[in-house]
Structures are given as structure tokens and as C-alpha cells.
Chain A
């Protein structure tokens, strides 16, 4: 009734394989995009930027990255925090070494550097699977954090051992440092989210996505139809780390501004992003958005309801958040392993027929 595809035909294969084959979906997507680009930048203030939009956008990039590796290619990784740190430190070194270059370039190159590191730590995936691979990536997590703590070259020998983002610009507009405008940083991050989502979608709907999913679903059968398992897994690690590196660079340079590696990119970060894709939906780009939005908005909403309306103490609300997230993870793993994205799909299927039962 509300949601229909009757009379919506594709007459060519490109039309059928586009991202939103149903016209209704397509228009809704354009609408969301238009609001995100043309409306929100004029309304945004610092509170909304820092509490909701920046973390949502940046975590979305990380979630898309991890989803490619875990959701599409089936390689479990607990090294997300470590790879984000690679992106952050690469960005820091680039920003301080080449001050006059645009931030756009810095962030992209940070992504590429992280992709290289990701491939390196992805090499064991040819030999080990599942839990054992997860432990190997855990080693990457701890090693990378240790490395950035111990080697002073990475933090330019600063006394505190922290890195802090100097003021850098894109097309003459400041996006890092203390004097940034909310709309500028918002649009800067939005650009990368759109870029990453489009790339991820294009890769997953074509030959690469099929290779990854084939490896995920049955690696022996994938090999028998001509998929080189090493190349498929490493390409997933590379693309995944590219996105995670970009998110790490943005997380440091745009969102936090100053970073202590163990605190910002520790093992908790790895789990946060993993929870996002579990709740949002493994193997779904939309799920990455949904999961990131959920985990970013939840604490803000809880604080609004618990502390501001009901007047509860802050620490109870903070603990309540942990309880809720923990319970949700368990519920999703048992009841709906494909997460919010699957709930959304089911809802759409029901809406398509509503109000008729069949």
C-alpha cells in the first residue's frame, strides 16, 4: 500500500542491477541525500555536530569497512581500533610533514597507507579461519597500539606522547584545529561517507562482492569456480582497511583533535564497531549506517531521557547504556543475526502487501 513496486519494471540489466531498483527507494534516497547536503549544514550547531553527527558519520565509515571484511568476506577481525590508529597516525604525520597540502589528500592517503597495513595483517587469513583469525587480528590491535605508544617518531617526539591536529584546510576552509565551523567539518565528513558508501556498494554488487561472498559462504566451492582465495581475502582486507583508515584519520583530525592512542583506539573501539555491524546487519551497507546511528544515538537519547527528564544520576544512565547494548547484542545474535537491516527488509516486505495478508 505505502510501499509498492507494481508497474516498476526494469527493461535493461543495468537498470536491474542499480543500487535502488525500486523507484520509491530511489526517490527516498535522493531526498535523504538532499536533506543531508542542503538542509542539515544550515541548521547544525556545535552540540549536535559533536554529540551526534560527527561520531555517526565517522563510525559509519568504519562500520562499512568492517562490514566488508566480516559481513561480506566472512573474515572476523578485532583489529579495527588498531587500523583506525594507523589512519590517525598516518594522517598526523602527513599533516605535519606537508602542511600546505589539502586535508582531502591527507585523509585519502591515510586510507591507502592503512590498506597496506591491513593487507600485511590479512596475510594469515589464508591459513587460519574463524576464532583463530580473530585472535591474529587481536594481535594486530595490540601491536599497533604498542607501536604508536613506543616509537616517538610517530608522535613527532612530543612530550605528552599525544598527537594533536594542527589547523589544516580544504579549498581554503579550515576543517581541523580549534577554529572550525560546524558546517565545514560536517560536510567534510559527509563527503567521505558518501564516497565510501558508493565505493562499497559498487564493489559489493559486482565481481569483487561476489568473490567475497563466495569465500564467506563456502570457500571450497569458491575456489572451484575460479576464485583465488588469497587474492579475494587480501582485497577484502585492503578495501576494509582503506575505509577504516579514513575513519581513523577523521576521528583523530576532525572529531577529537587530540589523541592518546591507547585511549582512543584501544580494543574497546574494535568491539564498538563490531557491535555496530552486528546490530546493524552483517553484509549490508544500510546496516552499517543503521548500526552506527543506533550506537551513537543511544547514549545521547538515554542521557536526554534519564538525566534531563527523569533526573537520574549520570553514572546510572551510563551503566544502563552498557546493559542495554549488551542485552541487544545477545538478542540480535539469537533472534536476528542479520540485524536491523534484516528487520528493515522484513518490514518492507510486509508493507509491500499491506493491508492484505498475501
Chain B
């Protein structure tokens, strides 16, 4: 491992653990376009890590590399200290990485409860035969996982809509259900792709509260992409700043805020040709 230290203490006194996910010199190309150029950063256990940058900076591509949609041409992905071979997204999920999408990707034909229960699928192992019998193993497993799902439902305050079909919900609630589904997997790393896009101030505050308290209560490691600077600076412990596929800053919110390259990128200073 690159970093020798076993973590650090945040300003508000939370102990941050060892590195969970380490990206080493990642380069991702689509034909001639380099979406990500030689980027390295790490995500530590228990921290809220933000990835920010202007539109088209490669943030979502980065998340897609982590969750297995894209395989980078160069570089290594180390998960829990071991080199991760290229794998399909469902295998990544089975390793304990959950995510939400920028555009909501819920199962519209299913109820909220069923959607949250799909988050538990990686924990449900009974075979088809036991399932067909139902009584016994399958029912026991269903009940155990239902308890976990209900805990998440309580936590995100969506009890009242648990039997409602997702298609009937408003946007803000759908975002929350999607978060519930990802959280139900009890992931060791949770990726949030613009969890607050398109929300009003009140909904943003709710969402921020949920993100902070799930980090606090469940100790969930979170990596998030967000455009609202105020939110990012308040929520995150460390921030990666990307611009045109390159990393231009990495550090605590205060360090990043005072970084000249970051200020340039956001204020739109002309780039050198």
C-alpha cells in the first residue's frame, strides 16, 4: 500500500480507518478521447469522499470504473488491499460496493419495499428448490432480510410508502428509495452519483442529513459526486477535484477551497492549449 498511516482523525473527531479502495494511475479512453487521465486517489474506511469538477470532467466515468461498468485501459484498482481484476458490475456489487445513479434507476414496476429488498439480494443465498417450498429456509431468510430492509426504511423515513409502487412517487422520494436500496446492501463502499441533483433546498438538507447520519450510524464509507459546492464542503472529509479528466486537487475541503488550480477551473480561466 502506498500510504503507511492507518488513518487519521477528522476535525469533528471521527476516526477514519485504513484504505478501502485505491485507484492507481487510472486512464480511461473512449476511442481517441481520454475521459480519465492518469488519476490516483484512495478512499478510506468511514470517510465521506467527494469527487467534484465541472461538467464533463470525468467524475461519472470514475464512478463507473469503480462499479465495474468501464474497464480502464491503464492503471490498477485495489479493493481492500487486493488488486481487483476486471469484473462485471454484478460481481463488484457482490464484493460489497453499492451505488445510486444520477438519473434514477429504480424498478418502476415494483413496490418501494420490493425495491429495497432487491438491495438485499446479494445476501440471499437459498436455492430455487427451497424457495419453491417457501416454508422453512426461504421464509426464514426472507424474514431476516426483511428486518434489515425495514431498518433502512425506518432510517430513511419512508415507512408510509413502503407498499406504494415506485412509479407513483415524486422525484425526491424516488431518490430516497434509491438510496435505501443501495444502503440495504450494507455496502462496504457506497457510491452516490449526484444524490441531490434536481432537489430543492429542503430536500437537499434532508438528503445531507441522511448521508451524514448513515455515515455516522452505520459507519458507511461514502464516495459521492455533487455539484452543489456548499453541500460538498459541508459533508465531505476529503475532496478530489477533476477537470478535463485530470486530477487538479485532492485534500480536505479547506485545502481544496484555497487551491489555485481549483479556483481557476471553477471560475473558468482559459486553459493553455
**A and B associate:** yes
Chain A positions within 8 Å of B, measured between CB atoms, are 12-14, 17, 199, 202-203, 205-208, 210-211, 213-214, 216-218, 220-229, 235, 239, 283
Q: B142 touches which one: A17, A199, A216, A228 (CB < 8 A)? A: A17
Contact present for A228 and B143 (CB under 8 Å): no
The CA of A1 and the CA of B126, in the complex, are separated in Å by 41
The CA of A226 and the CA of B41, in the complex, are separated in Å by 25
From A12, A213, A225, A235, residue with most partner B Cβ within 10 Å: A225
B88, CB-defined interface residue at 8 Å: yes
Q: Which of B7-15, B50-58, B99-107 contacts A (4 or more CB under 8 A)?
A: B99-107
Q: Which of B19-27, B78-86, B116-124, B242-250 contacts A (4 or more CB under 8 A)?
A: B116-124
Contact present for A203 and B132 (CB under 8 Å): yes
Contact present for B107 and A221 (CB under 8 Å): yes
From B144, which residue of chain A is reached at the shortest CB distance? A13
Contact present for B124 and A220 (CB under 8 Å): no
From A216, A222, A229, residue with most partner B Cβ within 10 Å: A222
Contact present for B131 and A13 (CB under 8 Å): no
Contact present for A239 and B107 (CB under 8 Å): no
Give residues of chain B (53-109) contacting chain A, Cβ–Cβ below 8 Å: 67, 88-90, 93-94, 98-99, 101, 105-109
Show 18 A/B contacts (Cβ-Cβ < 8 Å), sorted by A: A13-B142, A14-B142, A17-B143, A202-B131, A202-B138, A203-B128, A203-B132, A206-B138, A208-B128, A208-B131, A211-B118, A213-B107, A213-B109, A216-B107, A224-B105, A226-B94, A226-B185, A227-B90
0 or 1 for each of B126-156: is its CB under 8 Å from A? (1 = yes): 1010011110001101110011001000000
Looking at the assembled complex, report how far the CB atom of B83 sits from the nearest CB atom of chain A, in whole angstroms.
Answer: 21
Contact present for B90 and A206 (CB under 8 Å): no
Residues of B contacting A228 in the complex (Cβ-Cβ under 8 angstroms): 88, 90
Q: A14 touches which one: B105, B108, B124, B143 (CB < 8 A)? A: B143
From A204, which residue of chain B is reached at the shortest CB distance? B131
Known interface pairs A13-B150, A202-B134, A214-B107; 17 further A-B residue pairs with C-beta atoms within 8 A, sorted by A's residue number = A14-B143, A17-B143, A202-B131, A203-B128, A203-B131, A206-B126, A207-B124, A208-B128, A210-B110, A210-B121, A213-B110, A217-B109, A218-B107, A224-B99, A225-B185, A226-B94, A229-B90
Contact present for B119 and A199 (CB under 8 Å): no
Residues of B contacting A213 in the complex (Cβ-Cβ under 8 angstroms): 107, 109-110, 114
Residues of A contacting B109 in the complex (Cβ-Cβ under 8 angstroms): 213, 216-217, 283
Residues of A contacting B147 in the complex (Cβ-Cβ under 8 angstroms): 13
The 7 nearest A-B residue pairs measured at CB: A226-B93, A221-B105, A217-B107, A226-B122, A202-B134, A207-B124, A13-B146
From B139, which residue of chain A is reached at the shortest CB distance? A14
The CA of A315 and the CA of B118, in the complex, are separated in Å by 52
The CA of A235 and the CA of B41, in the complex, are separated in Å by 40
Contact present for B107 and A13 (CB under 8 Å): no
Residues of A contacting B93 in the complex (Cβ-Cβ under 8 angstroms): 223-226
Looking at the assembled complex, report how far the CB atom of B100 sits from the nearest CB atom of chain A, in whole angstroms.
Answer: 9
Residues of A contacting B132 in the complex (Cβ-Cβ under 8 angstroms): 199, 202-203
Residues of B contacting A211 in the complex (Cβ-Cβ under 8 angstroms): 118, 121
Q: B121 touches which one: A14, A205, A227, A239 (CB < 8 A)? A: A227
The CA of A227 and the CA of B101, in the complex, are separated in Å by 16
From A72, which residue of chain B is reached at the shortest CB distance? B109
Tell me the count of chain B residues lying within 8 A, CB to CB, of chain A: 39
Contact present for A239 and B128 (CB under 8 Å): yes
The CA of A267 and the CA of B146, in the complex, are separated in Å by 43
Residues of B contacting A235 in the complex (Cβ-Cβ under 8 angstroms): 128
The CA of A211 and the CA of B120, in the complex, are separated in Å by 11
B181, CB-defined interface residue at 8 Å: yes
Contact present for B128 and A218 (CB under 8 Å): no
From A207, A214, A226, residue with most partner B Cβ within 10 Å: A226
Looking at the assembled complex, report how far the CB atom of A337 sits from the nearest CB atom of chain B, in whole angstroms.
Answer: 11
Looking at the assembled complex, report how far the CB atom of B30 sits from the nearest CB atom of chain A, in whole angstroms.
Answer: 18
Looking at the assembled complex, report how far the CB atom of A271 sits from the nearest CB atom of chain B, in whole angstroms.
Answer: 24
Residues of B contacting A225 in the complex (Cβ-Cβ under 8 angstroms): 93, 98, 118-119, 121-122, 181-182, 185
Known: A13-B142, A227-B121. A207 touches B126 (CB 8 A): yes
Contact present for B143 and A13 (CB under 8 Å): yes
Contact present for A220 and B105 (CB under 8 Å): yes
From B162, which residue of chain A is reached at the shortest CB distance? A16
Known: A206-B138, A217-B109, A226-B90. A17 touches B131 (CB 8 A): no
Contact present for A217 and B142 (CB under 8 Å): no
Residues of B contacting A226 in the complex (Cβ-Cβ under 8 angstroms): 90, 93-94, 121-122, 185
Looking at the assembled complex, report how far the CB atom of B169 sits from the nearest CB atom of chain A, in whole angstroms.
Answer: 14
Looking at the assembled complex, report how far the CB atom of B153 sits from the nearest CB atom of chain A, in whole angstroms.
Answer: 12
The CA of A334 and the CA of B223, in the complex, are separated in Å by 44
The CA of A203 and the CA of B142, in the complex, are separated in Å by 12
Looking at the assembled complex, report how far the CB atom of B215 sits from the nearest CB atom of chain A, in whole angstroms.
Answer: 20
Residues of A contacting B139 in the complex (Cβ-Cβ under 8 angstroms): 14
The CA of A283 and the CA of B165, in the complex, are separated in Å by 14
From B125, which residue of chain A is reached at the shortest CB distance? A207
Residues of A contacting B118 in the complex (Cβ-Cβ under 8 angstroms): 210-211, 214, 222, 225, 227
Known: A226-B94, A235-B128. A17 touches B146 (CB 8 A): yes
